[in-house]
Structure 1
Amino acid sequence: MDSQGERAVRLRLTGAVALAAVSGGAGAWAYARSGASAGDLVRDLAVGWAYVVAGVVAWRRRPANHTGRLMVLEGVTWFFGNLQGTAVPALFAFGAWWEALNMAVLLHLILSFPEGRLTTVLTRRLVQVTYGLVAVGGFVRTLLFDPAAETGATYLDCRECGPNLLHVPAWDSLFGPFDAAYHASGWVISIVAAVAIVQRWRHASAARRRALLPAWIGIGVATVFLMWDMLFYVVPWFGGVGSLAEQAVYVMSDLAQVAVPFAFLAGLLRMRLQRAEVSGLVIDIGTDSDPARLREALVRVLGDPTLRLGLWDEERGRHVDGSGREVAADGAGRTPVAAADGRPLALLHHDPALAEDPELLQSVAAALRLALENVWLRTRAKDVATRIVAAADAERGRLERDLHDGAQTRLVFALMSVRRVQKGLVDHPDATLREAADEAETSVRHAIDELRGIAHGIHPAVLTRDGLAAALSELAEEAAVPVVVAAESRRYDPLVESTAYFTVCEALTNAAKHAEARAVSVSARHHEGRLVVETVDDGVGGVDLARGTGLRGLADRLAAVDGVLHIHSPAGGGTRIRAELPCG
């Protein structure tokens, strides 16, 4: 809302509060003059001003919804009937004419709640008839009403009230029948309204019922006591039970009326609590992309068990739910969720009643957007990391082949040439020349061995040729400490095999250099769709992942292929390093 709109709303609210204060003050003054007790005055002011307070809050909170305005109007008109307690003819006539206006406003409020508008032809016609009955029927009744003769025609016990400015003495005989018909009409309208309310409740969704249950309870109770109030007028002998019973009905009716605005406030408070739960929703969702868990968290916050969550399927070009069914984007109760760059992420198909709280839907959509974008970013980052690791492994393999087929082959040919020269110099008289040939042969042989070691460290050829089990066995033979290997002879994805192999390499290096281990066991097995590789040594333990760059690098490498690294290394108790890699 812009500043100009806010100023306009504040101005209207100030005017409404001032009007309520004037109406309440005048009504209380007139009510006290009719003989009302202090308790009656407090109760009466509490009812009227409760509507005003709740209405102001609702109006300020949702200026586009007419519910707040109707509640303020109900609070203002609540005091109109009290003006019959005055001796001012014009005020008495006004109070008599508009005595039932607050009931018409209350009916309008009930039938339009919570949207703030009448949504069916029946409710619109019912409200029109009610206002017409009060305006026309109330006016005619006022023309026939002589307060001196009909002392029991109002809820006020005031024999000295009036006179009535609009009274026509010639029509006095018509007051009794018309008054009975007038109140009977109000009673019929109340019954029809009660039926309409029940039908609305029966056809309401679960989300709407939960959100509005406090308000419906208050409205239902108020409606019941309003009907009892009408009964005193339609069936005169019913009030003969005694003034105490009649007063009890009035007191309970007023208390029920107070419950209506505060029940509405409870509904507003519940909506605020729902929005507060959105912060918890962000934590619950986290980066979990499982549709079932996402929907469960959203249902809990929105209170809508009928909610369907559609996640965007790039291949199909549509939103689909957890069972693969399309979630249509057309129709009521749809809230799309898009990324910051406009990419579609999800679609919420919810109860249309939730559209009455757009801020809640926006907050939930923002939380869902954050979670799904985090999932997308994490997936992209993992894909990039996986491609980097795969590219690095491919490059290591290429280097190993280049060294084997290039430099190593040339060195082998050079060694063969040097050995042919050695044979030719066997009988040569120059001992220095023979020694030089021997040194050349030794140097070339050492260069070949070193080159083979480098190539093996970059990417062992046996891993590519024979698989992980053979590579681990060869690694154990070359280790600086005794190593026992137990590995299943099956093949895995090359990236998985190389990651497992270098994990064992790092573990054996740590066992020899830092752990002072005397023996190491290595195992590799397939378990529930994962390759599990373990190395266990009997060294000094105390390995700290945070202080070891090699192990940290292993953890990062494993994470890049969706693997995990577990290290158990109590001081003095050896070290167990366990790597789990998905392998299908």
Structure 2
Amino acid sequence: MGADGGLVDLAQVVEQQAALRRVATLVARGVPPTAVFDAVAAELDRLIGADGAVIDRYEADGTITVVASSGSGLPVGTRGSLLGSPVSAQVWSTGRSVRVNSYAGVDDPLAVQIRELGIRSAVGAPIAVEGRLWGLTVAFTRQEEPMAADAEARIADFTDLVGTAIANAQARADLVASRTRVVIAADQARRHIERDLHDGIQQRLVSLAVAARMVEADLPAGTPELRARLSALTDGLTGALDELREISRGIHPAILSDGGLGPALKSLARRSAVAVQLDVCSDRLPEPVEVAGYYVVAEALANAAKYAHATVVHVDAAVSDGRLHMTVRDNGIGGADPASGTGLTGLTDRVEALGGTITLDSPAGHGTSLQVELPLAVH
């Protein structure tokens, strides 16, 4: 091989390694698989001289779906049978990279569509996720000459990264689902405890306090000492009842279960040590979302009173695009730090466990703003 040929080969290797690094960086950053799909399709389109590239996913009903496309003319979402894609069919049956030199003579709507796009031949490589065949990467050419002899190997390098991206995304989804189940189970337990307290101990204390008042009212004249002792006992029962109600409300406010987020936040605002201006939606939302939203505002109000020295807190909550959008902002001193033990870390865990996001902006001297988004589709 001449010097020029060696330089060309070296340049191709360098170019391929750079393309792989670009895709690997996306995978390492944990971007959604669709972004990785698009990047791989674009890199292959450019790298191996293909006229187009797609990533197909195998479906349970024996069809394939295009999940990424670059230059092929096949739009994302295109679906067809394995019969219409000889590359997909052979990869499915063999689990190995394959090459198809012609789509001629295949009588299937997908194959007809491919031929109408001028595609003559293709090379495909399997995508495996956790040992299971998930789909394949396919590079097309519209030229009469087939693609380079090493096209299968080059595609295979990228499909490994695609498989890793899908596996990582699935692992993250499983983690979020697991954390969501834990949060929901804990909230349900808190609600049951609150109901037990309300229906049991609280009602018993109410009955005892009423009975004590009745006994006090029936005391004969001339027993001031006994009346005073009984009055103190009654006051003690009433005080214990108030404390129990406060504890019960902290465990899980009954108004949240009965009326939803709007009434619960109004009740919270009335008890707040800081003035609260509310602009909140009144629609009922999934219970985990209502509970998370309530505790976000409760913690923010507590912090505003205890740490921020604020005089007013604005609370906005609205639903759009399938998400609850909440903003809690005060006019305090700012400088809030999630690592300082103010409860913000716990709120972050709760919100993220439901697939939401929470953002804190608290510049010193300029108040604190807490922005939360929670998806309404909680499983």
**TM-score range normalised by the length of the shorter chain:** 0.7 to 0.9
User: 2: distance between equivalents of 1:501 and 1:305?
Assistant: 54
SS at match of 1:353: coil
**TM-score, normalising length from structure 1?**
0.51
Q: Which residue of 1 is the match for residue 178 of structure 2? A: 384
* 8 Å CA contact 2:303, 2:342 repeated in 1: no
SS at match of 1:330: helix
C-alpha change, 1:476 and 1:581, in structure 2 (3 Å) is: same
Deviations 1:169-226 (A, max 9, x none): xxxxxxxxxxxxxxxxxxxxxxxxxxxxxxxxxxxxxxxxxxxxxxxxxxxxxxxxxx
* 8 Å CA contact 2:63, 2:79 repeated in 1: no
- Structure 2 unmatched ranges of 5 or more: 68-76, 83-87, 91-98, 100-122, 141-145
1:538 pairs with 2:292: no
User: 1: distance between equivalents of 2:65 and 2:327?
Assistant: 41
* 8 Å CA contact 2:314, 2:328 repeated in 1: yes
**Shift of residue 498, structure 1, vs aligned partner:** 1.1
Q: Which has the higher strand share?
A: 2
1:287 pairs with 2:14: no
Amino acid in the other structure paired with 2:196: D
Deviations 1:425-462 (A, max 9, x none): x2165444333322221111111111111111111111
Q: Which residue of 2 is the match for residue 348 of structure 1? A: 137
1:583 aligned residue (364, 370, 376): 376
1:454 pairs with 2:247: yes
**Shift of residue 318, structure 1, vs aligned partner:** 5.7
Aligned pairs for 1:494-509 within 5 A: 494-509=287-302
* 8 Å CA contact 2:328, 2:370 repeated in 1: yes
Q: Which residue of 1 is the match for residue 279 of structure 2? A: 486
User: 2: distance between equivalents of 1:552 and 1:324?
Assistant: 43
1:439 pairs with 2:236: no
User: 2: distance between equivalents of 1:360 and 1:552?
Assistant: 45
Deviations 1:116-155 (A, max 9, x none): xxxxxxxxxxxxxxxxxxxxxxxxxxxxxxxxxxxxxxxx
C-alpha change, 1:535 and 1:272, in structure 2 (3 Å) is: closer
1:334 pairs with 2:124: yes
1:325 pairs with 2:98: no
User: 1: distance between equivalents of 2:62 and 2:291?
Assistant: 37
User: 2: distance between equivalents of 1:279 and 1:485?
Assistant: 49
Amino acid in the other structure paired with 2:53: L
Which structure 1 residue ranges, 4+ long, deviate > 6 Å from structure 2?
none
Determine what percentage of the aligned residue pairs are the same residue: 33
SS at match of 1:572: coil
Q: Which residue of 2 is the match for residue 360 of structure 1? A: 154
Amino acid in the other structure paired with 1:494: E
User: 1: distance between equivalents of 2:364 and 2:138?
Assistant: 56
1:469 pairs with 2:228: no
Aligned pairs for 1:71-470 within 5 A: 262-263=4-5, 265-267=7-9, 269-285=11-27, 286-291=29-34, 293-303=35-45, 304-313=50-59, 316=61, 319-322=64-67, 323=77, 325-326=79-80, 328=82, 329-331=88-90, 332=99, 333-340=123-130, 342-351=131-140, 353=147, 356-424=150-218, 426-427=219-220, 429-470=222-263
SS at match of 2:316: strand
RMSD: 2.4
User: 2: distance between equivalents of 1:468 and 1:495?
Assistant: 11
**Shift of residue 290, structure 1, vs aligned partner:** 4.9
- Report which stretch shifted further, 410-419 or 344-353: 344-353
C-alpha change, 1:393 and 1:290, in structure 2 (3 Å) is: same
Aligned pairs for 1:528-567 within 5 A: 528-567=321-360
**Shift of residue 562, structure 1, vs aligned partner:** 2.0
Higher relative contact order (CA 8 A, sep 6+): 2
C-alpha change, 1:443 and 1:355, in structure 2 (3 Å) is: farther
**Shift of residue 267, structure 1, vs aligned partner:** 4.2
**Paired residues, number:** 322
Q: Which has the higher helix share?
A: 1
User: 2: distance between equivalents of 1:431 and 1:281?
Assistant: 87
User: 1: distance between equivalents of 2:136 and 2:267?
Assistant: 55
User: 2: distance between equivalents of 1:441 and 1:365?
Assistant: 75
- Structure 1 unmatched ranges of 5 or more: 1-50, 55-260
User: 2: distance between equivalents of 1:394 and 1:312?
Assistant: 39
* 8 Å CA contact 1:400, 1:456 repeated in 2: yes
C-alpha change, 1:554 and 1:354, in structure 2 (3 Å) is: farther
Deviations 1:368-401 (A, max 9, x none): 1221111011000111111111112212211111
Deviations 1:463-495 (A, max 9, x none): 121121111111011111221212222221111
Aligned pairs for 1:513-532 within 5 A: 513-532=306-325
C-alpha change, 1:354 and 1:530, in structure 2 (3 Å) is: farther
Amino acid in the other structure paired with 1:501: Y
C-alpha change, 1:355 and 1:410, in structure 2 (3 Å) is: farther
User: 2: distance between equivalents of 1:520 and 1:456?
Assistant: 21
Amino acid in the other structure paired with 2:300: A
Structure with the greater alpha carbon radius of gyration: 1
* 8 Å CA contact 2:57, 2:66 repeated in 1: yes
